[in-house]
A and B are shown apart, each in its own frame.
Chain A
């Protein structure tokens, strides 16, 4: 079974802190994604990566950065956390085969981040 794990289920941080959210997948997938999930807004793509050291902006990248130093690990960084970044953060991975339009994404359990 594909497993995507996220470093924390719940996290509480203060405004202005630098926050790291870690995601690890064990299926040698090429693609990895970070989403945030908010009530009434669904999931919105923050950043994705289709290879080690590669990253692409998603639909809402402002205030975030990412790092992918190893294939299995994809980190989301909040450089200076703000209260409007309080949300559920979901990491996902997908095989990244030539038919990537049809790829299934596999999700982690999510990290609920609260910024005070």
Chain B
């Protein structure tokens, strides 16, 4: 069946450090892939998405590339800020707009 595995946290970085959060998936067919972010006390919001192999999603300095050969969708940012502290969820699209989420990775960025 479909599943998403993402790097477990928490991850603690200093401001301006490079961020990678790993995400791999198992799926039949060619699902869409998403990264959602949840800031403290809020619901989730879409960070970026990619709908086919080799697509790159990007937003707010974050990037992720849909790699079919490695079934991965790793999230990267070149220089994190304190305001990026949040929980990040990788997700895979199923039929009827359903999503399967990974367990989430908590990121803390220290000044």
Interface residues of A, Cβ cutoff 8 Å to B: 4, 31, 33, 35, 40-45, 48, 50, 56, 58, 90, 92, 94, 96, 100-110
Contact = CB atoms under 8 A, between A and B. Distances in A.
A45 to B, nearest CB: 6
Interface of B: 31-32, 34, 36, 41-46, 49, 51, 89, 93-104
Contact of B102 (A42, A50, A92): A42
B42 A103 contact: no
Contacts of B97: 31, 48, 50, 94, 96, 100-101, 103, 105
A42 B105 CA distance: 9
B104 A104 contact: no
Given A42-B103, A104-B49, A50 B96 contact: yes
Nearest to B90: A42
A45 B44 contact: no
Contacts of B45: 106-107
Given A101-B93, A107-B44, A42 B101 contact: yes
